[in-house]
A = this chain, B = another copy of it.
């Protein structure tokens, strides 16, 4: 059997991260609320970040943790609760995992079906946070369709 010594991972560029932050911020302004918006790379490390003026201090860390959670498990954070709610040990236990957020506002960033990073938003109810994330993901869809 042939041995493999390395494998390849795609990770988000700063160029893309900035455009996603801009699109997300624009949505935040439209909603009239103050959000922290975070992008992490494939490995979950911070890539780019904006805190809108007046964003709650608490949102700064939550946004980062949501982006981390999404990239580090390749799952949108709002998908966790349905998987937990009828599974009492997970519902009781998993929620204590360091940096794992299990409510909406974090999404993996997928290009050609491959996770290349994560986006996380905090500042409103998670239903607002999700809209801001989705605006960031929509610009990605537009950009990669153009490419």
The count of residues in chain A whose C-beta lies closer than 8 Å to any C-beta of chain B is 72
Q: Which residue of B lies closest to A57 (CB)?
A: B72
Q: Which residue of B lies closest to A63 (CB)?
A: B46
Q: Which residue of B lies closest to A56 (CB)?
A: B73
Query: Interface residues of A: mostly helix, strand, loop or mixed?
Result: mixed
What are the residues of chain B within 8 A of A4 when measuring CB–CB?
A: 13, 15-16
- Cβ 8 A contact of A95, one of B78, B92, B99: B92
What are the residues of chain B within 8 A of A7 when measuring CB–CB?
A: 10-11, 13, 53-54
In the bound complex, do residue B88 and residue A85 qualify as a contact, i.e. CB atoms below 8 Å apart? yes
Interface residues of A (CB under 8 A from B): 3-18, 25, 41-54, 56-62, 69, 71-74, 78, 80-81, 84-85, 88-104, 111, 116, 126, 140, 143-144, 147
A-B contacts, 22 listed (Cβ < 8 Å): A3-B143, A5-B111, A5-B140, A5-B143, A6-B10, A6-B116, A7-B10, A8-B10, A8-B11, A9-B11, A13-B53, A14-B53, A41-B43, A42-B43, A43-B43, A45-B57, A48-B50, A56-B72, A84-B92, A89-B102, A93-B102, A96-B96
